[in-house]
Structure 1
Amino acid sequence: MTQARYDAIVVGGGHNGLIAAGYLAKERLKVLVLERRPIVGGACVTEELIPGYSVTRTSYVCSLLLPEVIRDFRMKDYGFLTLVPEPHSFYPYPDGQYMLWYADEEKTKKEIAKFSQHDAEAYGRFQTELLELQPFVDEILRTTPPMFPPRGIRELLEFGNFGRKMLKLGDKRLKLFLELMTGSCHDYLSRRFESDRVMAAQALNGLIGTCVGPMSPGSAAVMLHHSIGSSIEGQPGAWGYVKGGMSGIANALLRSVQDMGVEVKTNAEVARFIVDGGVCRGVCLANGDEYRARLVASNLDPRRTFLRLCDQGTLPEDFTESIKNFRVQGSSIKVNCALSELPDWKCIPGQDPKSPHQQAMFEIAPSIEYLERAYDDLKYGRPSVRPMIDGNIASTMDDSLCPKGHHVMSLFVQYGPYRLKEGTWPEIREKVGDQIIDTLAEYAPNIKKAIIAREVLSPWDLEQIFGLTEGNIFHGEMTPDQLFFLRPAPRWANYRTPIRGLYLCGSGAHPGGGVMGAPGKNAAREILRDVRR
């Protein structure tokens, strides 16, 4: 059955999809958003684990969201509020020591000095070095990549413009940028610090959601992405909770775009794109309903967009081959827990929810070698026996998430391969969950008895529930060979596709993953350029 006609259809109601829809609606386009699940937000959602206990099921903190998106969508007027802990990170160690990481540089230096006076002095230089790159990185995040490889004078000139921007960095900053884009976390950090604990504290930013270890070339690029991106409340690289969980972002965007006139339909799974004569004319839902539009923007990952929703023969063979080779293997596990009490950490005993270490992100990443051994398990198709854990208890700052005196805990875990050497995820999921909790219990022994309920989401579950191909939280690996003008394929990094009228607006496009909004904003800009021609 053919339904009403629209100017634009956005497939997928994640944050990038809503952002793209909103920018199109601002220019008076009639926009429809179609979301497969009962709620919008994609992987940016808050849902009940058990009655009364709300958890952020997948993404878990806010940091990279573009300030202009917050402003343009008046998100604060629609209920968006960040809660920023200080310190923002807490690193417990097996020997009973610990380190706290603050936005306040001097406080962080004092913490680092417990392990190395040299590193405490080096930390300021390290921060300055990265922040000197921030204007360039911020510009790149908002830039449509040039065609690569370039063909013809116009494309050569566009590519040359990008080259000139890089040269303007100067020799020192250009060398630093290239070092970060091509090197490993370990190589980069070991040139600046001597303490293994200080290096590991920074290296984990390069491992989140990726199939790399701290000694893998390219891991430093992911570290750069997470370390300086945008900022929360003016603190570059800081992380914050969202009031009400991560749905606070999606719900603010939803209310904003609906007030702009965007129509949003949930429980509306798109089965295929309607393509006629090389032009996308609309979409067909799983229930057979058809919606027609002048253009379609897909907020789904590239593999799902092109290999599942495009009929065979509608795409060039070389492009299809590039998408098949676009690496998407998931490597992350998410564990959500309802707690009867807070963890009682060996290194800082006590369970006061107002204690800075209880409100901070807690990081199980005691050394570079520990992280590399966790990665070794992934390489051989095994979940990490002793994993890296990036955890938080947002209820220490947001009592709306659960009953008073109780808490909800989020554990983001590296590594868990999508493809297992032995068994299946439904078979081993709970055993792996036990291993993760066992690891945490080495640092907070009461945690096992504190857990009222838990949910373990493997890469397989992330694919089944949230539609993330192979469970990759970034819609594709964030290594240098899959960034900028190579994301998701050479010559197709400008949000357009070989099918006229079909665009990509999700994290599989430049600049990549994270709750950032840049892919949606940038894609809308390119779509509007085409509409105005």
Structure 2
Amino acid sequence: GAFRAWGFQKGGTGEISMAIARSAKHFGAEIITEAPVKKVIIKNGEATGVALENGDEYQADILISGLDPKLTFLKLIDKEELPSDFVQSIKNFRIRGSSGKVNLALDGLPNFTSLPGDGPHLRGAISISPSYNYLERAYDDAKYGNFSQEPYIDIILPSVLDPTMAPPGKHVMSCFVQYAPYDIKGGWDDARRDAFGDTVINTLARFAPNIKDIILNRQVITPHDLEKTFGLTEGNIFQGELSLQQLFSFRPTVKWADYTTPIRNYYQCGSGTHPGGGIT
């Protein structure tokens, strides 16, 4: 890879997971899906297995949780099994979701007024962030419990790099959007989700006027959807805020940034661990 450059996975980011799964199966691993874990089984301070929501139990010598710290320690384990200061530090771990996602199926390529037509700019990241004041206003909306009326948008067109991700002549556009607070005033519902999607499209149209004419379909994902669908507490895609006091040796908490936990044979991994961010 190149320093400070985005990486694009052929076939989409999900193909990374599939590649790992294929490798694991090659070495004898069995992968079970649609099997939510209810709790971690602990005996004498040692993790010995998991109990599923359907009542099944699996025993194991080593357990590894890729969930966020809140779920890993506050949901799957009784707090009596953990040191009180550790429980408090996990409770204090900041994990507010503040972003949403809009995925678009397009009948062609967007035409940006700043750089019209096709070109290399469509093969990298495109940012809708015209000024510091623009970003400040976007944050102010979220600060008072609303999604941004003029949001910051980070855009990629993966089908330009990998044509297999869309039919010939068609494209997909991925829009990472800030800000969309998890605890929005009045809560998230279908109407609020649609309004959020409309706001993103209207903002895009200011910079790429043809966008509304080429949209074939759209998918709007709110922080609430991220929590419900992917198990990300409060819809935080990084499994915790990327603030200075929660990165590197402080992630998820002091003394426990080496992937171990206070429970023997129970380990943590993912974006909620050292150093922070990335793919889980």
TM-score by length of 1: 0.51
Aligned pair partner of 1:304 in 65, 68, 71: 71
Distance in 2 of aligned mates of 1:404 and 1:362:
23
> RMSD of the TM alignment (CA)?
1.4
The residue identity in structure 2 corresponding to 1:337 is L
Show the counterpart of 2:185.
421
Distance 1:415 1:236, change over 3 A: same
Deviations 1:200-250 (A, max 9, x none): xxxxxxxxxxxxxxxxxxxxxxxxxxxxxxxx1xx2111132111112211
Distance in 1 of aligned mates of 2:138 and 2:132:
10
Show the counterpart of 2:195.
431
5 Å matches for 1:389-468?
A: 389-468=153-232
Alpha-carbon distance, 1:490 to partner = 2.0
3-state SS in 1 of match to 2:17 = helix
The residue identity in structure 1 corresponding to 2:53 is A
3-state SS in 2 of match to 1:510 = coil
Distance 1:451 1:504, change over 3 A: same
Alpha-carbon distance, 1:312 to partner = 4.0
Distance in 2 of aligned mates of 1:407 and 1:300:
32
Alpha-carbon distance, 1:348 to partner = 2.5
Aligned pair partner of 2:43 in 254, 263, 276: 276
Q: Which of the two has higher C-alpha Rg?
A: 1
Alpha-carbon distance, 1:425 to partner = 4.1
Distance in 1 of aligned mates of 2:158 and 2:198:
22
The residue identity in structure 2 corresponding to 1:415 is Y
Show the counterpart of 1:248.
15
The residue identity in structure 1 corresponding to 2:70 is R
Do the aligned partners of 1:425 and 1:460 also contact (CA within 8 Å) in 2?
Answer: no
Alpha-carbon distance, 1:489 to partner = 1.7
Show the counterpart of 2:142.
378
How many residue pairs are counted as aligned between the two chains? 280
Displaced runs of 4+ in structure 1, greater than 6 A? none
The residue identity in structure 1 corresponding to 2:196 is V
Aligned pair partner of 1:341 in 86, 89, 108: 108
The residue identity in structure 2 corresponding to 1:400 is T
Distance in 2 of aligned mates of 1:511 and 1:240:
19
3-state SS in 2 of match to 1:497 = coil
Alpha-carbon distance, 1:314 to partner = 1.6
* Structure with higher helix content: 1
Between the aligned residues of both structures, percent identity stands at: 52
5 Å matches for 1:122-161?
A: none
5 Å matches for 1:16-165?
A: none
The residue identity in structure 1 corresponding to 2:55 is G
The residue identity in structure 2 corresponding to 1:349 is P
Deviations 1:381-425 (A, max 9, x none): 111111110001111121111111111110001111011123424
Distance in 1 of aligned mates of 2:86 and 2:191:
36
Deviations 1:420-468 (A, max 9, x none): 1234244401101100110010011111121111111111100000000
The residue identity in structure 2 corresponding to 1:412 is F
In structure 2, the gaps of 5 or more residues are: none
Aligned pair partner of 1:511 in 252, 275, 279: 275
Distance in 1 of aligned mates of 2:233 and 2:44:
28
Distance in 2 of aligned mates of 1:325 and 1:427:
32
3-state SS in 1 of match to 2:163 = coil
Show the counterpart of 1:51.
none
Distance in 2 of aligned mates of 1:330 and 1:283:
28
Distance in 2 of aligned mates of 1:443 and 1:461:
27
